Structure 1
């Protein structure tokens, strides 16, 4: 029996992954990653890096980050504690959904993850205090290949569910896209 339900999001290649759960009086068992099953969903590279974050304050926005080729990465983002509004923005040159965004609530309770393909920027907003996330990356972080999109970029116009209470200084410094931005090549 498949351990994941893979749901296509409205942006090509973006997937919502719902982990199946076996539960009894002792607790539950849920498979977090299976290369065979997630390969079919689009996570076909080996896992190169696993990162964990804790964001203390409700309303905080982190992101929107991505990496340029040849360090472009696929990410599997999961919320282990709390609730977040997770966002992916299509930055792929020539994509029919270029500069479109998709947001979904991820939480410890719903056991859903967002599978974000190469060419997307990623960020999130905490919907409650003390949110803990786990990221699986197909490429190691390469500072020289890092790109970012301001969370309030007007050409994207993300509808954040809460007023933004906090952003890192680094994320606040991200500039808006130049008017001639044509996307990223993979």
Structure 2
């Protein structure tokens, strides 16, 4: 696996290295040892799978506060999505910065999202399926979200006509107190 840094501190794009022969190919998509050698966390307790029938479906931007902040690895296994993260760690040099990566079933890339980042994606094709690993169990008491189109972040989403849940559409404008960013200091 190859790990490519992004403009946001601690976030990586993971590129698998397929090995093939006349039968097809094989590739490693996760290796705890390689990730540790690259300075990333590699303990995961939950694997989540989402399917989105329509292009333009948006999920996020979600994160969890302490004691349950999570690392995620996201991979699109069919279709295509635009995966976006926002750095919410107040002591980070990239605080409130965002970065996005196009993940597709064909490019097989994965996105490593550190603790203290909000994460979300929008599907670029119908019938898009995503698989992601999470380092912490879902904790509804720790759950938070930031609004996908909050002007504070200035995210330039690549599609219009967003299909979004009522819950995700109603996250309030960014507020350091409500969003608990002080608790993300030092993560």
For normalisation by structure 1, the TM-score amounts to: 0.93
**Residue 35 of structure 1: aligned partner:** 32
Preserved contact between residue 65 and residue 180 of structure 2 (Cα < 8 Å): no
Distance across 2 between alignment mates of 1:91 and 1:59: 25
Given candidates 112, 117, 132, the residue that maps to 1:115 is: 112
Question: Which structure 1 segments of 5+ residues have no match?
Answer: none
Shift of 1:31: 1.1
Shift of 1:52: 0.5
For normalisation by structure 2, the TM-score amounts to: 0.92
Distance across 1 between alignment mates of 2:130 and 2:39: 20
Given candidates 90, 93, 97, the residue that maps to 1:96 is: 93
Distance across 1 between alignment mates of 2:133 and 2:180: 28
Question: Which structure 2 segments of 5+ residues have no match?
Answer: none
| Count of residues in correspondence between the two structures | 183
**Residue 129 of structure 1: aligned partner:** 126
Distance across 2 between alignment mates of 1:99 and 1:164: 25
Q: Is the counterpart of residue 168 in structure 1 residue 181 in structure 2?
A: no
Shift of 1:102: 0.2
Write the mapping of 1:1-186 to structure 2, written as runs, cut at 5 A: 4-178=1-175, 183=181, 184-185=184-185, 186=187
Distance across 2 between alignment mates of 1:115 and 1:169: 27
Give a deviation string over 1:44-99, Cα, whole Å, max 9, x none.
24211110000111011110000001101110000000111000100001211111
Distance across 1 between alignment mates of 2:97 and 2:51: 27
Q: CA, structure 1 residues 175+9, in 2 after alignment: closer, same or farther (shift >3 Å)?
A: same
Preserved contact between residue 42 and residue 117 of structure 1 (Cα < 8 Å): no
Aligned-partner SS, 2:141: helix
